[in-house]
Amino acid sequence: MRPLLLLLLGAVPVFSQPFSFGVKLGVPLTDFINAAGNSQNASGFLDYSTHTNRYIVGVGAEVRLPFHLGIEVDALYRHYDFQSSPQNNLLPVVTTTSSTTSNAFEFPILGKFRFGSKLIHPFVDAGVAFDTLQGVKQAVTTTVGTVTSSTSTSSPSEVLNNTTHGFVVGGGLDIKILVIHIQPEIRYTRWGEEHFDLSSLLHSNQNQGEFLLGIEF
């Protein structure tokens, strides 16, 4: 009973600090996936292409501590997709194409330090992030002559790790307007492992840059 009471008393100063919550909007500054080109196999060449969706959405919350410090936790959503198709096939009567889509949820946990005036506070932050894939789906279309068949899988061979983690550093401005905090920020994340990898054809970008705009209350 006594240890529990001490824990609750110790948590009171944290939860009594100013707390803010809001939305995060952003754009990636780097591609999520790199497609290196094509590779020859027994039936010709296989070409990979990818498209980076230019949006990031999510929510963020922060507990503000004494000495201009803070702890921020975010939940960010982004979308991946890539396609493969045969090129210059030696056997044109048999072709196989695929289209893969996936949702990614990123959870950064950051320590934050502010400095500057009362209305505009430059800040720097650093911490760790965890990223997990959800809803992975690969649709495969095979054509033999004039006959086409389709299959799908949630475990494509290109997926190397469903979950990865890395470290984050960033910096920006905290602009206070009445009760609203506008926070433009640039972040860099270095992921420890790749989500996707297939020889030299396709791999996740372990260096991630992004611009985020936080609107918190």
Decide if 40 is inside a domain.
Answer: yes
Residue 3 belongs to some domain of the structure: no
Between the two ends of the chain, the Cα-to-Cα distance in Å is 36
Asked if residue 4 belongs to a domain, the reply is no
Distance CA 127, CA 165 (A): 11
Does some domain include residue 2? no
pLDDT for residue 14 is more than 80: no
The CATH number covering residue 33 comes to 2.40.160.20
Q: Is the pLDDT of residue 216 over 70?
A: yes
Helical ranges in 100-146 per DSSP H: none
User: pTM for the full model?
Assistant: 0.84
Burial 50-81 (b: 16+ CB within 10 A, else e): bebeeebebebebbebeeeebbbebebebbbb
Residue type, 97: T
Query: What range does the domain containing 188 cover?
Result: 17-216
Residue 44 has pLDDT above 60, yes or no: no
Helix/strand/coil for 203: strand
Residues 6+ apart with CB under 8 A from 12: none
Domain count, the chain: 1
User: Is 44 within a domain?
Assistant: yes
Identify which has the larger pLDDT, 45 or 98: 98
Q: How far is CA 208 from each of CA 31, 69, 160, 170, 175, rounded to the nearest angstrom?
A: 8, 25, 18, 12, 25
At 113-152, the pLDDT tens digits run: 999 877 899 999 999 999 999 999 999 998 887 888 999 9
